Chain A
């Protein structure tokens, strides 16, 4: 049960686990960004969820075609902001009211007015740090290893090739029908990727 939840969470980060016989998934190459965009939409419509697209540059509309929806990173930012605000308020109050009160020209030990800059800065600081950290976590980064690297053809992804990969962990995945779907969508160089977790 826990294992299943963990692998579902990892799947949302784009980290899919290999299935029986080290089967990782099927990858197909597409001729140009438009074709990849269309294929992503069709794969999504066919009911697949564990799939990803790879291209040398961002493609407009890909998020929508893949059905990615809105990122939840904003909520992580909000959490970070609230933590920063609370921390700054508490810190300044404790320092100037409890730990080391000093009378400066008759002003109150702790007042909200001079504390706001620090409250603001710490809110922004922790909110932005948690945004970056949250973005990395939600993307499953850093990730130096990806089973797709087993494919020599895949090396061209940073140059001039467009790939779509359907993971074997998808509920609908089937070696034959998935392969046929990719072929029907115009996929070339269709490869089955196996991930034994070892070097070649």
Chain B
């Protein structure tokens, strides 16, 4: 670690591993808004979590599922940011440098998510059917030969070890990418871009496998009989789409408060909008690939996933997901005008983030109540609670450093980027 960047007090690591460098940021790239930007989400987050705690006291199973939905939503944003930053480094992308600090600040959410994930571990018995020991006991009346065959993979110690490994890996790569970029703000060391590319390459290859298996373990194993090899890509598609929405929203909020007014141009928004559109379509492509193969194969252990989501009221939620996550955004985002009209694009970004949460809800909630479709008050409370805390930590961390990677060698290309 060089002179220019100092490590933070370890107690503070969950929020930001580095001391603030805001005072060394160029005046144009300095955060100049009130502390409300993180205090307000924090207040909403705490309120949501308090309500969720009440929900836990009254119905703990409901709480665990609602909490997992909100947590998976926050994880998907972080995973999306992780891959976005990596791809920008590996492709030496020029257009995105002015908005890259947003996902860079977001990837340091992995440690926080690890801590926020503790309630999920406490609720594993309610969430994950395969944690019930009698399933594996041939003498028991609950003996399940299919799950008994999966016991060597689906058992609690191995699950915990895997999830720990995923987070350690994500955190390690994120730490490197985050600190290198902040260091570059005030350190002209020419080897930094090369190092960033190196860690990005490792983070892409292994990270792809890690992310796929994380989605298998955390989301797919909720329904332990069911399996789908494309599930990791499904999770990635939604994640990558969400980070575009986040970048659009944060940019609009910053510009409305007088920051980066000249730096982020309509041309950047248009490209972010193109990606938002593209990954809405990509999500549908992957989701449909999964659906069609299961429809064609018509095997009971595979079709059960969709059967649970097409009966007892869940068919309405499935239709909302199809229309709201793909059909309407496809029409609404395809035009050039919509990507260059900021109030509209901001609305679409909020819409798509809501749909990403709804997608997580659709994946997780039917596991709890296949017989009775319901979107409850506690589902929303846990979502806003977790997302509030998550967003507050992000905004606080983001405000502590320059708002763009101010010494990135490709910054000037991004500043003069046009998209006619």
Q: Give chain A nearest CB distance to B136 CB in angstroms.
A: 35
Q: Is A61 in contact with B295, judged by CB distance below 8 angstroms?
A: no
Check if B344 is an interface residue, CB within 8 A of chain A. Answer: no
- How distant is the Cα of A63 from the Cα of B336 in the complex, in angstroms? 16
Across-interface contacts of B298 in A (CB, < 8 A):
105, 107
Check if A143 is an interface residue, CB within 8 A of chain B. Answer: no
Across-interface contacts of B336 in A (CB, < 8 A):
70, 74
Q: Is A114 in contact with B292, judged by CB distance below 8 angstroms?
A: yes
B 271-297 to A, binary, CB cutoff 8 A, 1 in contact else 0: 000000000000000001001100110
Q: Is B418 in contact with A60, judged by CB distance below 8 angstroms?
A: yes
Q: Is B420 in contact with A113, judged by CB distance below 8 angstroms?
A: no
- How distant is the Cα of A107 from the Cα of B336 in the complex, in angstroms? 42
Across-interface contacts of A114 in B (CB, < 8 A):
292, 295-296
Across-interface contacts of A113 in B (CB, < 8 A):
291-292, 295-296
Across-interface contacts of B291 in A (CB, < 8 A):
113
Q: Is B292 in contact with A117, judged by CB distance below 8 angstroms?
A: yes
**Is chain B's interface secondary structure helix, strand, loop, or mixed overall?**
helix
Q: Is B292 in contact with A116, judged by CB distance below 8 angstroms?
A: yes
Across-interface contacts of A70 in B (CB, < 8 A):
336
B 400-420 to A, binary, CB cutoff 8 A, 1 in contact else 0: 000000000000000000101
Tell which of A61, A74, A107, A116 touches B418, judged by Cβ atoms closer than 8 Å: A61
B 107-142 to A, binary, CB cutoff 8 A, 1 in contact else 0: 000000000000000000000000000000000000
Check if A64 is an interface residue, CB within 8 A of chain B. Answer: yes
**CB-CB contacts below 8 Å: B331-375 with A:** 336
Whose C-beta in chain B lies nearest to the C-beta of A70?
A: B336
Across-interface contacts of B295 in A (CB, < 8 A):
113-114
Among A64, A113, A116, chain B packs the most CB atoms within 10 A around the CB of A113
Question: Contacts A70-B336, A113-B291 known; A61 to B296 CB distance under 8 Å?
Answer: no
Q: Is B420 in contact with A116, judged by CB distance below 8 angstroms?
A: no
Q: Is B420 in contact with A64, judged by CB distance below 8 angstroms?
A: yes
Q: Is B288 in contact with A116, judged by CB distance below 8 angstroms?
A: yes
- How distant is the Cα of A192 from the Cα of B288 in the complex, in angstroms? 61
Whose C-beta in chain B lies nearest to the C-beta of A117?
A: B292
A 57-91 to B, binary, CB cutoff 8 A, 1 in contact else 0: 00011011000001000100000000000000000
Q: Give chain A nearest CB distance to B288 CB in angstroms.
A: 6
- How distant is the Cα of A135 from the Cα of B292 in the complex, in angstroms? 35
A positions within 8 Å CB-CB of B:
60-61, 63-64, 70, 74, 105, 107, 113-114, 116-117
Other A-B contacts than A64-B420, A114-B295, A114-B296, 16 sampled, CB-CB below 8 A, are A60-B418, A61-B418, A61-B420, A63-B420, A70-B336, A74-B336, A105-B298, A107-B298, A113-B291, A113-B292, A113-B295, A113-B296, A114-B292, A116-B288, A116-B292, A117-B292
User: What are 14 A-B contacts with C-beta separation under 8 Å?
Assistant: A60-B418, A61-B420, A63-B420, A64-B420, A70-B336, A74-B336, A105-B298, A107-B298, A113-B291, A113-B292, A114-B292, A114-B295, A116-B292, A117-B292
6 A-B pairs with the lowest CB-CB distances in the bound complex, closest first: A113-B295, A113-B292, A63-B420, A64-B420, A114-B296, A60-B418
